[in-house]
Chains A and B, each alone.
Chain A
Amino acid sequence: MKIVKEALAGTLESSDLMVKVAPASDGTLDIVINSEVIRQFGAQIEKVVRDTLGKLDVTEGLVVIEDKGALDCAICARLQTAVLRGAECQDLDWSVLS
């Protein structure tokens, strides 16, 4: 899936996260994670983000995460939403995302 426009999902509230995606400027995948719990869970958050992007077949773009201590399932859901908005995707095979 190719991110073609900037898109946003989520909130800045506690236990949630805000995800911003943007098209790649140079063909690379750039992930920036900013989290209140980066020291404890930074590696796990990055794993969830990379896995989710992998399932969506996103290989390039800018992904910025402002995490407020969200659970993995919330991270996954917000990221999917942001990518689907940014890819202007209409027909999606939901089964691959589970």
Chain B
Amino acid sequence: MHMERPERFDVLPPAPLWSNPIVLDDFEFLTVDPSADPALQAEIRALLAKCGLDYEDGIDVFVICRPQGRLIACVGLEGNIVKCAAIEPDCRGESLSLKLLGEVVHLAVERGHSHLFLYTAPENQTFFRGCGFYPLVEVPNYVSLMENTPVGIRSYCNKLKTERKEGATIGAIVMNANPFTWGHQYLVAEAAKACDWLHVFVVAEDASRISYRDRYRLVELGIRGIDRVTLHHGSQYMVSRATFPAYFFKEKGMVGHCCTAVDLLLFRNFIAPALGVTHRYVGTEPFCPTTRKYNEDMKYWLQAAETGTPRVTVIEIPRTAVMGSPVSASEVRRLLDARDFDRIEALVPPATLELLYEKYRTVCFPPA
């Protein structure tokens, strides 16, 4: 999955209907998993292609409408993200799309996801606004991210505001810490020295090798003793599957043209103002191309771009090195694949080493 063409997420706005051979009054919606049914998958693929969208493999379930055996509408759900919504061009104008979106929202709640996100082209925002989705951020001429609640980001920011600290230099770091290394510890210590207060967020998405619970605990232990730091749980609004899908697929060789702008604009427009963040700190990235691209894009979207919200200065701190080579979590994961705990020992604090040894000593990793 990559986000080169965000328009494939959208439904085209309903167009006037001049001739319609299908009676749309009583049609039913079915919930299907096309991964188990190649013929159905081909049908969905064809409908999406007709609407200029691509079929995506990661989708858990589709809602389809197929009166008289002809597929006329589909919408996919991947976790809490609505995707691949399409309506047969001759069937538009009958508010089929409202029914379709309503069906998928009900299905998502049944599956335990009441908070949904959706990507669409900026010009379709108004249409989805009528389906109960509210705009979060817009990357002009490119893509908009919407959520299905009018209070989601607002109540999240209100919660953050209670953690606000006053000061001229308020720093923030967002880390996945997969796993926490001496490099993370060095970054936090250096940033804390330069700031009146530092907010550290741990990416909450459980899509990494090390579980969120373990990552958070290791960060907590690892930054103990550094003053003027608040550790925060990550959220849906920050390097999550919803805001930055490509990040979690970097090890699957699908970096491509990932879309970092949505995630960075959420930080710039909502999170930074809520906490009064003036500086965002990040380590230089010698290894991982996705993270390197994210760092470069950060300078544009947080600092250079005109968005009507205060600029956040991006400070890149050179990575700390152990025996001449920079410390990186991706290097630790490579060593973990090889069970090379002797070399890991030099790169991570004792708590991380202990956890890795306990949990992964005997685990077999599938080939990457």
Q: Kindly list chain A residues whose C-beta atoms are within 8 Å of the C-beta of B150.
A: 32, 34, 64
Residues of B within 8 A of A7 (CB): 109
Interface of A, secondary structure class, is strand
Q: Which of A6, A13, A22, A32 contacts B95 (CB 8 A)?
A: A13
Does B17 sit at the interface, judged by CB under 8 A? no
Judged by a CB distance under 8 angstroms, whether A83 is at the interface is no
Say if the beta carbon of A12 comes within 8 Å of chain B.
yes
A53 to B98, CA, bound (A): 27
From A8, A13, A68, B105 is in contact (CB under 8 Å) with A8
Contacts of A20 in B (CB 8 A): 114, 132, 149
A22–B114 CB distance below 8 A: yes
B7-51 toward A: CB 8 Å interface, digit per residue (1/0)? 000000000000000000000000000000000000000000000
Nearest residue (CB) in A for B103 is A11
Question: B5 at the A/B interface (Cβ < 8 Å)?
Answer: no
Encode contact with B along A25-36: 1 for CB under 8 Å, 0 otherwise: 100001010101
Question: What is the chain A residue whose CB lies nearest that of B150?
Answer: A32
The tally of residues in A whose CB lies under 8 Å from a CB in B reads 19
* B159 surroundings in chain A (CB, below 8 A): 25
Contact B151 A32 (CB under 8 A): yes
In the bound complex, residues from chain B placing their C-beta under 8 Å from that of A22 are 114
Nearest A residue to B155, CB-CB: A25
Report B-chain residues with C-beta under 8 Å of the C-beta of A46.
Answer: none
Residue A62 is within 8 A (CB to CB) of chain B in the complex: yes
How far is it, in angstroms, between the C-alpha of A65 and the C-alpha of B61 when the chains are bound?
26
Pick from B99, B114, B149: contact of A11, CB below 8 A: B99
| Interface residue range, chain B | 10 to 19
Bound Cα distance from A8 to B106, whole angstroms: 7
Query: 0/1 per residue, A54-71, Cβ < 8 Å to B?
Result: 000000001010101000
Residues of A within 8 A of B130 (CB): 12, 36
B149 touches A12 (CB 8 A): no
Check if B151 sits within 8 Å of A62, measured CB to CB.
yes
8 Å CB contacts to A: which residues of B330-359?
Answer: none
Given A20-B149, A25-B155, A64-B149, CB of A8 within 8 Å of CB of B132: no
CB B99 to nearest CB in A, in angstroms, measures 6
CB distance from B216 to the nearest CB of A (A): 21
Determine if A79 is an interface residue (Cβ-Cβ < 8 Å): no
Contact A8–B131 (Cβ < 8 Å) = no
